[in-house]
Structure 1
């Protein structure tokens, strides 16, 4: 990384605030080097890393879910095609699982969700006398813990 990008240049390229870039730095998403004057300098690969984080977060992934994938990449070097293929495969599995869960939620949403409210006439059939309450808290059926 010859001179690298300043944090302001990286912010301008990604649309992130400087404070957000520093936050991502604390999570090892980007790892700047210091120049002779002690200033941070970022590589062009950091644009891609931050852009990936932003896209994954828009899909509902938390930083805790994203960061481990990016920590496995080589520092100060752009990810290879194989790196992105591996990361994409891992995220695709999680996205598919989320799609399945959302479809299940959609299909069960108009019925008893096993919450114990007993406000629907169907609750008398699916959850009479709040029997689901003995199994734990929350929407037991929607959480995949019931019929």
Structure 2
């Protein structure tokens, strides 16, 4: 995983915006080189350092380049069979907690009950309780939040 800093976030945003602008013209080799940038943006969202929408003194600020990164993720990712309960999934975005063991769940610091579905690229804060629900890629679930029902 690539770790970015505010200085590199600007460069990452520039590359994502350029990829978005020229997305119809990009070939397979171009997408291959952009996958790392898209993955870095998604990782930043997941770890909570980057947010698609964030509060500001003027209300909510939308970081359009991160919305574009999420949409580009769908473009560069193939659909595949993914293990899940109660049945397998046919999707492009893996489950956020796929392959987790007790230590990994403890590190996240959230309680996840059966029926809670979280896609990779969603931030789950500490002390979150996820009841049966769906949390999509790009979402930010803040510390101490309970997400309940559908």
Band of TM-score, shorter chain: under 0.3
Q: TM-score, normalised by structure 2?
A: 0.22
Structure showing greater relative contact order (alpha-carbon pairs closer than 8 Å, 6 or more residues apart) = 2
Give the number of the structure whose residues are more often strand, by fraction.
Answer: 2
Give the number of the structure whose residues are more often helix, by fraction.
Answer: 1
